[in-house]
Amino acid sequence: MSESGTQLFARLEARRCLKDIEPRLFPDNGGPDHGEVVEVYGAEGTGKTELLYHLLCRCVLPKETGGLEVDVVFVDTDYSLDMSRLVSILDSKLSSGFSTCSTSAGSDEAVLRSCLSRLLVVHCSSSSQLLLTLHFLETTLSSRPSLALLLIDSISAFYWSDRSEGGVSLSKQEE
């Protein structure tokens, strides 16, 4: 199947934006533009992963609760994704977002499941696997227009193992 330039442009423009994902972090325009990379770095224990969880939750939450209702890919390179923590944050945000509405426990669970259905978690155990995952995501991005955010925790997870193996270059990994 081939795609014309006009079709490609229309498909990419239809992709949901992250405007207002977190106005306090992005005061100028409310969020990163399409294709923009934002790196969060800092010392261990400073809350980088917690920040990612909150951004992720803001994306997958329904619009009625102040969310963006978009899909997210979370690439977990050190197998540290704490799903119970993530569900706890989602549950808290859902409770505060629906505080004016009366909802039953069953519908709360349905909304939570709906939020989690917008999350795709990928685990990588090596830099080669991460590279393959990123190549595969190109297909995923084209087939899921609601996919708006890619989070990688942590991009530097394989630095020391790659370095101890002689620092195999990225071009050699791609072969």
Tell me the C-alpha distance between 159 and 156, whole Å: 5
R_g of the chain computed on alpha carbons: 18
Edge-to-edge strand list for the sheet holding 71-76: 119-123, 71-76, 147-153
Evaluate whether 123 touches 78 at the Cβ level (below 8 Å): no
Q: What is the pLDDT of residue 14?
A: 55
Tell me the C-alpha distance between 139 and 174, whole Å: 17
Q: Annotate 126-153 with b (16+ C-beta within 10 A) or e (fewer).
A: ebbebeebeeebeeebeebeebbbbbbb
Tell me the C-alpha distance between 80 and 154, whole Å: 9
Look at the domain 5-174 and name its fold: Rossmann fold (3.40.50)
Q: What is the pLDDT of residue 157?
A: 80
Mean pLDDT by 10 residues, the chain (175 residues): 60 66 83 84 92 95 92 93 96 78 67 96 92 87 85 84 69 53
Q: What is the pLDDT of residue 52?
A: 94
Enumerate the domain spans of the chain: 5-174
Tell me the C-alpha distance between 175 and 163, whole Å: 19
* Residue 140, helix vs strand vs coil: helix
Q: What is the DSSP letter of 64?
A: G
pTM metric for this prediction: 0.79
Tell me the C-alpha distance between 168 and 173, whole Å: 7
